[in-house]
Amino acid sequence: MSGASEEIVVPQVHQRIVILGATSAIAEAAARLWATRGARIVLAGRNEARLNEIATDLKARGARETIDWPLDFVSADASAELAKMVEHLGGLDILLLAYGALGDHAELERNPAAAAKLIATNFSSAAAWCLAASAVLEKQRGGTLLVIGSVAGDRGRRSNYIYGATKGGLAHLVEGIAHKLAPLGARAVIIKPGFVDTPMTDAIANKGALWATPEAVAVVIVRAGEKGGPAIYAPGFWRGIMLVVRGLPAPIFNKVNI
Length in residues, the chain = 258
List of E strands, the chain = 16-20, 40-45, 65-70, 94-97, 144-148, 187-193, 231-234
Biggest distance spanned by C-alpha atoms of the chain:
55
Residues 6+ apart with CB under 8 A from 258: 157, 158, 159, 245
- The count of other CB atoms within 10 Å of the CB of residue 142 is 15
**Strand 94-97 to strand 16-20: parallel, antiparallel, or no bridges (unpaired)?**
parallel
What is the spatial distance between Cα 26 and Cα 63, in angstroms, rounded to a whole number?
A: 17
Is 163 annotated in the active site? yes
Q: Which of 69, 1, 4 is nearest to 222 (CA)?
A: 4
Q: Which of 79, 19, 24, 17 is nearest to 47 (CA)?
A: 24
Q: Which residues of 29-47 are buried (b: 16+ CB within 10 A; e: fewer)?
A: bbbbbbbebebbbbbbbee
**Strand 187-193 to strand 65-70: parallel, antiparallel, or no bridges (unpaired)?**
unpaired
What is the spatial distance between Cα 52 and Cα 244, in angstroms, rounded to a whole number?
A: 43
Question: Which residue numbers are catalytic?
Answer: 163
